[in-house]
Amino acid sequence: MGSSRSFSCSAMGALILGCLLFQASISNAQLRPDFYFRTCPGVFLIVGKVIVQELGSDPRIAASLLRLHFHDCFVNGCDASVLLDNSTSFRTEKEALPNLNSARGFDVVDRMKAEIEEACPRTVSCADVLAIAAQISVLLSGGPWWPVSLGRRDGFEAFFDLSNTALPSPFATLAELKKVFSDAGLNRTSDLVALSGAHTFGRAQCIVITPRLYNFNGTNKPDPSINPTFLTELRNLCPENGNPTVLANFDLATPNRFDSQYYTNLRQGKGVIQSDQELFSTTGADTIPLVELYSRNTFEFFRSFARSMVRMGKLKPLTGTQGEVRLNCRVVNSRTRGVENEDDGVVSSI
């Protein structure tokens, strides 16, 4: 993964430790960046170590972990509901259309949680594991750092139906994208444009690309906003009636690096999915100036992305005595397991 694949665990440790010490100097009313500073100070190192190990064989994992955090927070807030498997009480969000056969990294989260439980039993929530993993994934891929507010609790249920409506569609128009973001609690134009920049790395399946290549909006023609040369490239990769699971890089230039190339691609008509290209190709849109700004100024993109990640991470969190700290991120705990200490994140058995 570019520079990430050669990133040593010792170098990663120094980087994350420095960020953790800085993070510990920041406080927040409800969620706090220093929430685990006393009870599980090694949590960032544990999560980072697992990610670095996984990057050695799976360069996609950084983008996949970031996506899990997105998909968690957009559906009833950041409560780790996306991680729950099916139960007799609810249907898993993993089977909802936006996640089906595309959301991934659950086994990696399991490894993180298992190591955290060994080091700090009954302390760190799965929702916080996702938030930390998202930050470290971006950081190791060349992107910005931001203070991760912590102290979230895990929810007791998944939201299959809501997942089908609350997550942005790859076929969405700009108006539809704005509504989804606003409904989630992210109503600034900069939230939409900056967070869409997460598609600066990662992959998309042909199933979400093909319609705009051959039959855009039922016209039997390609999306006119696609760069003609890029259209040929995409058609070669995703032929009509071809394998829908074939993967295309969101960014052909730097596919595994978190940078501002995504916005340059949009200006050139090289957005891979419709919802991305809408940010620049919608006539008169207020998103266009931001695409242009982020394209030419990586610092501004990173600053906006970091701010929006902080805002997204605070969407409807469960805190205090709400929810629980799951022992296994895939299942809800037994309701008789114990009581939690609201002040320091410790769960004490009774």
Catalytic residue among 71, 94, 257, 330: 71
Q: Is residue 81 annotated as involved in ligand binding? A: yes
CA angle 60, 62, 63 (to 5 degrees): 70
Q: Could you give phi then psi for residue 150, rounded to 5 degrees?
A: -125, 165
Q: Is 251 annotated among the ligand-binding residues?
A: yes
123 near 41, Cβ under 8 Å? no
Q: Is 350 exposed, middle or buried (0-12, 13-18, 19+ CB in 10 A)?
A: exposed
Residue 117 token pair: 């439980």
Which tokens sit at 80?
């780790």
Tell whether 154 is in a known binding site.
no
Q: Is 276 one of the annotated binding-site residues? A: no
Tell me which residue of 174, 157, 180, 247 sits closest to 209, measured CA to CA.
247
Tokens of 308: 């929006």
324 in helix, strand or coil? strand
Q: Which residue has the tokens 């999915």?
A: 273
344 annotated as belonging to a binding site for a ligand: no
Measured CA angle at 259 (ends 257, 264), to 5 deg: 120
10 appears as a binding residue in the annotation: no
Active site residue 71: yes
The verdict on whether residue 199 carries a ligand-binding annotation is yes
Distance of CA 106 to the CA centre of its chain: 13
189 is in an annotated binding site: no
Is 292 known as a binding-site position? no
The total number of residues shown for the chain amounts to 350
79 is in an annotated binding site: yes
Binding residues for heme b: 199
Binding residues for substrate: 168
Binding residues for Ca(2+): 72, 75, 77, 79, 81, 93, 200, 251, 254, 259
Binding residues: 72, 75, 77, 79, 81, 93, 168, 199-200, 251, 254, 259
Could you give the residue numbers annotated as active site?
71
